[in-house]
Structure 1
């Protein structure tokens, strides 16, 4: 059927809206069995590590980055937020989602719209040097493909690799993994989950809000622009001293929203979502990394087992807040208990009450309770049907 010329433009404009309405109807609650899964096309598996700032996502990102079968990039949506600083998180989520889809398909030319004028090489990409794939062939000959790559060496040698070689590297892997902290809900990502060309798996990483707050305090100036975007128009109306807690409350609500929206996914799509607590990885890294890899369809090579054990069983708290190096992960996960004043902990527990209950974080009832590290503050999920890695 051919459309009359005057009808073509309205039809083209309506088509995406009708497709989205159909998707949301499939994703919402309703009677009857879930629709059948879309046919799987041959191609790479895509993994989105979805988290928030200071939640251990850089560490979990490295679990994917150091895997020899994975092409990994850290926070590509950073470019959207930096290029459009006046936008709120809600206003920027569609542009960020479209960028993610292009990157998952190894179309790195999508970054052109957000990069400053000048040479285009992989050093233009945010935190490019934390990607093992960009430090080994075909992107860069510095390290062999299966080698555990230190970030410092890569930064000095591999930055001038042109983006077309980075694209070639992306296309040479069986898995493409991206880490993101700039989505405050799952709904905007439904089209990616439903796209059979992507075979997308979402790993939703959460961390105890009290630990998140303490970690954010240490790097607060570096998170200022992101914090403004999280609060959006409310930022200027909130007293300065109240902003850190207000931002944390928004982040906690976003984790509840993501979890609830994941529960409304139809059966085949629901199986592509996994909730992971940072504390469980810190306590038993080998077991929970193995389950994480199983979810993504990845093996757990012996050299990675050694690296995971070493990186999580080091001494001290690490050299830098933004460097994934050897540290005592269990101590890091509990540092808030001796670093935060109890009255501040009480405030955090109040604004993040729903998130803590949903994710299995127990409140402390007194300062003595808080300081007693023998008291376990992790519990099981609220719903017995939930699955925890």
Structure 2
């Protein structure tokens, strides 16, 4: 009797292992069949023990592997626009420059959803960085999944223009078909990305996947940037850890330093020449605040979109639209803290009324980043005010 139970137990264990193997194989097969390009050559976790991502660029040496096969964008492809931003750097405001354009398919934070493909990648033992890159490739290819297995409706719903499509999904149950068709009808796919923290990862999209890439790298003065994150985020440097407000002052300072170090490293990658002038452009929140229309026109030229009178009027309305925010909500239903309806010059200088001690703490912690940007301290070590204009390279006369 005991031997029969033992054999039955062995049989059950064998069946469970077999089902797990089939599930893993089918998950990876599903991903490869639906994602478009063949990504099977990208690394998996057994290789990640030595390399955390496909290495094509070295920050230490400032060099990258040359690969002429990806030197030109595929003719006739959609244009892939990556808005590379840190949270609270003005990312949604920058997005608003594009999302109302009739030739654009805009996706809010494509790395936020916990989608079927993301789970398939995890089951197939792909690294997080590789998974992120493949998700961006998926979105560019208009590979939108079944609504029961994705948070795409939530993500797209952050932009009011997609509401009719989301209603159609609810009424007819064919959300992927509707959104995929809409995506394919556009010439430019714009993705606002705030979870790729090493911009050299984009070289994989360009060289290994061959996406016709346009990277718009948004940066912000670390003083107002950090203060905004402290006000609205539970974290400073990375998600998923202990809440920033519960950390000791020294740990908070460490996280602020880490954020500035990450941003400085990415600035140096952007300036290193690994991306061509046709592939990469950088702007600051400060520059955009001073002259949003000038920058909008420059960005439209960079990505190959026509800058129309309607586009100009839309951006003008947003950048002088603080009065449109009523009862804590803007005209699109967003919470005021995340609204794009602002008076840009007011926002630009608002942080300067904060505690001099805290401002100077950030100035010390982020000195290398501020120096690299050409920004200056407004307080000395004794908290005496020594400058009225923190951005002498950006603003010649303070309004």
Is TM-score (shorter-chain normalized) higher than 0.5? Answer: yes
Residue in structure 2 matched with residue 302 of structure 1 by the alignment:
309
Match of residue 27 from structure 2: none
Task: Flag the structure with more relative contact order, 1 or 2, with Cα contacts below 8 A and sequence separation at least 6.
Answer: 1
> What's the counterpart of residue 336 of structure 1?
351
Aligned to 1:290: 297
Please tell me whether the aligned partners of residues 44 and 175 of structure 1 are also in contact (alpha carbons under 8 angstroms).
yes
Structure 2: gaps of 5 or more residues: 1-37, 48-52, 329-334, 395-399
Q: Are positions 1:98 and 2:111 aligned together?
A: no
Change (3 A) 1:201 1:130: same
Mean CA deviation greater in 69-78 or 124-133: 124-133
Report 1:26-65 matches (<5 A). Answer: 29=62, 35=68, 37-38=71-72, 40-65=74-99
Specify the alignment match of 1:249 in structure 2. 257
Between Structure 1 and Structure 2, whose CA radius of gyration is higher?
2
**2:155 pairs with 127, 130, 138, which one?**
127
Query: Structure 1 CA distance, aligned partners of 2:295 and 2:195?
Result: 25
Task: Determine if contact 1:62/1:324 at 8 Å carries over to the other structure.
Answer: no
CA gap 1:344/1:44 in 2 versus in 1, 3 angstroms: same
CA 1:179 to 1:72, structure 2 compared with 1: closer, same or farther past 3 Å? same
**Structure 1 residue 240 displacement after superposition:** 3.8
CA-based RMSD: 4.0
Matches within 5 A, 1:104-253: 104-109=140-145, 119=148, 124-131=152-159, 134-135=162-163, 139=165, 162-194=175-207, 197-220=210-233, 223-224=234-235, 227-229=237-239, 239-253=247-261
CA shift at 1:55, angstroms?
Answer: 0.7
CA contact (8 A) 1:40 1:196 kept: no
Structure 2 partner of 1:327? 342
Deviation of 1:301 (Å): 1.2
Query: What CA distance in whole angstroms lies between the structure 2 residues aligned with 1:260 and 1:158?
Result: 49
Deviates more, 1:72-81 or 1:184-193: 72-81
Cα deviations by residue, 1:33-91 (Å, 9 ceiling, x for unpaired):
9958235331110100011111110111111111111100111111259x89xx9xxx7
Distance 2:349 2:342 in 1: 13
Output the CA distance in 2 between the equivalents of 1:247 and 1:303: 42
Query: For 2:385, what is the secondary structure of its paired residue?
Result: helix
Distance 1:33 1:176, change over 3 A: closer
TM-score normalised by L of structure 1: 0.71
Distance 1:49 1:31 in 2: 22
The structural deviation recorded for 1:160 is: 7.2
Aligned to 1:203, the other structure's residue is in SS state: strand
Query: 1:272 and 2:308 equivalent?
Result: no
Q: How far apart are 1:334 and its partner, in Å?
A: 1.4
Q: How many residues align?
A: 328
